[in-house]
Amino acid sequence: MQNNPWNKRDWSNHPDLIYPDYKSTILRNPQNPLKKLNNFNEIPGPKFESFSIRTIDSDLTLNAKKDHNPIGERIIVLGQVKDEFGKPVPNCLIEIWQANSAGRYVHREEIHDAPLDPNFLGAGMTLTDDNGNYKFTTIKPGSYPWGNHHNAWRPAHIHFSIFGRSFVDRLVTQMYFEGDPLFKYDPIFNSIPDKKAQNRLIAKFSIDKTVPEFAHAYVFNIVLRGRQATPMEV
């Protein structure tokens, strides 16, 4: 029997399942510990390299444009996806979604009284290149209020959904922006047990990647699980 070769989720860098300050976690997660498995065959994952993703889908300033450019600060978000051993992950599907510059989501159930932008949807997707690099052009999202506690505001963020090389190598996360005053009040951000791990979700402004006369750039690198060359002994 072949053992699963993928490193496990590193729980020192991921939130607890139930984090009571974020109230919705209380009833929506198991109370039993996750079931550990010993030997099991590797679970592969879908391959996305043959998917035809339009170039425009990595440019959120264009992919829903009707007659004007979307309102707000145009930014570039870019980075590299690699695994725990530093190996780049090519053909990795990255999907993002976000609020507009006023802090309003297109989602029909969003009730925050901020304007929609008819030229902005806030969704994008791309595949990483041979070196694991990706790039989106978008509008800097605004902060928005939510009902978790009195005067609760989410720090500005972009949602990321990332597929690695196996079904188990899956990540959904949020990217934040350097210097946001709301970090210390946000239970979702603070659910991450390690301060350094929190810091790694904060995209850093880069003058080198900033494009003159066009847009500021923010760098957000992503680390997925590593795959052991020889399957792990458990």
Partner 1 sequence: MKKNTFLQTSSQTVGPFFAYGLTAQQYRYDFPSLFNGNLRKNDIDGKEISIKGRVLDGKGNPLHDAMIEIWQADPQGNYNTDQNSDFLGFGRMGTGSDNFIGFNFLTYKPGKINDSSAPHINLTVFARGMLNHLFTRIYFSDEKNEIDEVFNQVDPLLRPRLIAEKVNEEEYYFDIILQGENETIFFDI
- Residue 210: C-alpha distances to residues 57, 59, 74, 79, 220 (Å): 20, 16, 11, 13, 14
Annotated catalytic residue 149: no
Residues 179-208 that bind partner 1 (CB under 8 A): 188-189, 191-192, 194, 196-198, 200-201
Our finding on whether 96 is near partner 1 (CB under 8 A) is: yes
Annotated catalytic residue 159: yes
Binding-site size for partner 1 (CB under 8 A) equals 94
Active-site residue (options: 104, 134, 154, 176): 154
Residues 127-156 that bind partner 1 (CB under 8 A): none
Annotated catalytic residue 105: yes
Q: Between 108 and 212, whose beta carbon lies closer to partner 1? A: 108
Annotated catalytic residue 200: no
Active-site residue (options: 19, 22, 104, 105): 105
What does the DSSP 8-state code read for residue 27?
A: T
* Binding region for partner 1 (CB under 8 A) out of 68-76, 133-141, 159-167, 203-211: 159-167
Active-site residue (options: 19, 22, 134, 144): 144
CA-nearest of 129, 119, 126 to 62 is 119
**Residue 160, strand partner residues:** 96, 173
Annotated catalytic residue 185: no
Our finding on whether 36 is near partner 1 (CB under 8 A) is: yes
Active-site residue (options: 9, 14, 74, 159): 159
* Binding region for partner 1 (CB under 8 A) out of 67-75, 122-130, 134-142, 207-215: 122-130
- Cβ atoms of 140 and 176 within 8 Å: the answer is no
- Hey, what are 95's tokens? 């999907």
Q: How far apart are the C-alpha atoms of 172 and 174, rounded to whole Å?
A: 7
* Binding region for partner 1 (CB under 8 A) out of 70-78, 131-139, 169-177, 208-216: 169-177
Q: How far out from the chain centre does Cα 50 lie?
A: 23
- Residue 25: C-alpha distances to residues 21, 29, 111, 185 (Å): 8, 6, 22, 17
